[in-house]
Amino acid sequence: MNSIADAIQKFFAGADSALTPFLAALTVIGVATMAIIQTIKDTTPFRRKFQAAALDAWLREGADEANAAFGDALRRLGLSQVNPATAREQLVRLSVDGEEKALFSLSVEQMCGQMNSAVQVALDYPTKYAHLLFVAASGADAEDAKALADTAVTGASSMDDASRIALADARNRVVHQLQRAIDGFQIKTSFRWKWWLQFASFALSVVLSWIALLPWQGAEGFTKIVAVLLTAAAAGFLAPVARDLTAALQKMRG
């Protein structure tokens, strides 16, 4: 820590040839920040709780949209409205056989893959999994949802060819909507997770930089604050880069 503090102090004091030691100090702080954040991710339920909260918000939003748009389809299935809690229960059961912690411990990409498998089952059995189906497909056309509900109740055996084609088209449109909805959830959740990781990297780098510069004697308070913030910003930027490189190396070894 003394060598890190010395490199930072010399750089901000304008000492000659201080850039290389300063970059080395940034690297050390960035790697330390990455290691601490990775340890927190691996040993605490933070990511699991974050993804669970993101899913709950997505289900609530979908339930509100479905209840507003799919009244006819829901009544056809004997429902007054869809319930996001029931949709969550059905999703966990279909995707990981009810093992909730297992689902939320996955990466966002893996979790969304399991979600996609679950909604496909719900699409095949709309009478049994109506809550999950209509919450996930809340952006679909109301007539397409009604067609699926009608067929689930009456069956398709009595349909003529034109009706079967119309039903197939409606189902395909709902399938595409389901896929886009889960893609949207994945993109949104990944962006927010990476943003929080970047914020955490900066905050932790501030703490490490401040600890390193505490013994800096003779510097004005403003100078020390500027040095801490600039060092933390640069080290916080390097931390995700180091994390991505580490992840890439692990994949190559695997």
Domain boundary among 153, 169, 186: 186
**CA neighbours closer than 13 Å in the CB half-sphere of residue 63:** 18
Same domain, 222 and 128: no
Same domain, 105 and 162: yes
pLDDT of residue 248: 53
Same domain, 170 and 205: no
Q: pLDDT tens digits, residue range 153-176? A: 887 667 777 888 888 999 999 999
| Length, in residues, of the chain | 254
Nearest residue to 219 via CA among 3, 9, 29: 9
Domain tally, the chain: 2
Same domain, 155 and 246: no
Same domain, 32 and 105: no
pLDDT of residue 74: 93
Same domain, 51 and 28: no
Same domain, 27 and 100: no
Domain extent for 244: 2-45+194-253
Domain boundary among 186, 208, 231: 186
Same domain, 160 and 106: yes
pLDDT of residue 209: 73
Q: pLDDT tens digits, residue range 53-68? A: 999 999 999 999 999 9
pLDDT of residue 224: 63
pLDDT of residue 215: 61
Domain boundary among 186, 206, 241: 186
Same domain, 30 and 140: no
CA-to-CA dists, residue 62 to 72, 87, 181, 206, angstroms: 17, 10, 9, 39
Same domain, 36 and 100: no
Same domain, 20 and 75: no
Residue type, 250: Q
Task: Using alpha carbons only, give the angle 169, 173, 176 rounded to the nearest 5 degrees.
Answer: 140
Same domain, 242 and 221: yes
- Under-70 pLDDT residues of the chain: 1-26, 156-157, 213-224, 227-228, 231, 233-254
